[in-house]
């Protein structure tokens, strides 16, 4: 029996909304003095606050999401990502992207690089978080890795 688009949708939705996803890494590109860019995991940098490394995201099948702080709490609402920590989400028409807060000014489109039962990898394009690189305002891909 062939899969219908409804089967694929249900499968993707079930995997995405299968409980909390634990943040495992945040990857981007960093420009070095020679002008080359190197991929880096922001978690490996001393500048990355420990309080961000144990965050989770919970995506519900009813169209809501929430980024949940872990046990280590940040001071002064330290944030690594510019999108809101809570809101609505939906798939793109071909389910290759998720859109956080669709139709809102703070809407963020994220490419679904990987969606498996135990791994979720999303990429969006933004300035590198000013928290880490204060002088960089160029748009870069930022890849977020979550695991169950």
Give me the half-sphere count of Cα atoms (radius 13 Å) on the Cβ side of residue 47: 12
- The pLDDT value recorded for residue 81 is 67
Q: pLDDT confidence of 45, banded at 50, 70, 90?
A: confident
- The pLDDT value recorded for residue 31 is 66
Q: Which residue has the higher pLDDT, 53 or 79?
A: 53
Mean pLDDT calculated for residue range 87-112: 93
Residue 51 has pLDDT above 70, yes or no: yes
What is the C-alpha to C-alpha distance for residues 148 and 144, in angstroms, rounded to an integer? 14
Q: Which residue has the higher pLDDT, 32 or 54?
A: 54
Class of 5-147 in CATH = mainly beta
For residue 105, the 8-state DSSP code is T
**Do 121 and 111 form a contact (C-beta atoms < 8 A)?**
no
């Amino acid at each position: 029996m062939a899969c219908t688009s409804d089967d694929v949708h249900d499968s993707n939705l079930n995997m995405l909304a299968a409980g909390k996803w634990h943040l495992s890494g945040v990857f981007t590109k960093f420009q070095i003095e020679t002008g080359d860019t190197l991929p880096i995991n922001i978690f490996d940098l001393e500048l990355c606050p420990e309080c961000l490394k144990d965050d989770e995201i919970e995506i519900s099948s009813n169209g809501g999401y929430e980024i949940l702080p872990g046990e280590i709490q940040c001071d002064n609402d330290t944030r690594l990502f510019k999108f809101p920590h809570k809101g609505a989400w939906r798939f793109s028409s071909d389910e290759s992207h998720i859109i956080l807060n669709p139709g809102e000014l703070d809407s963020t489109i994220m490419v679904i690089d990987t969606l498996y039962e135990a791994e979720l990898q999303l990429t969006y394009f933004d300035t590198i978080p000013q928290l880490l690189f204060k002088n960089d305002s160029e748009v870069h891909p930022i890849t977020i890795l979550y695991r169950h």
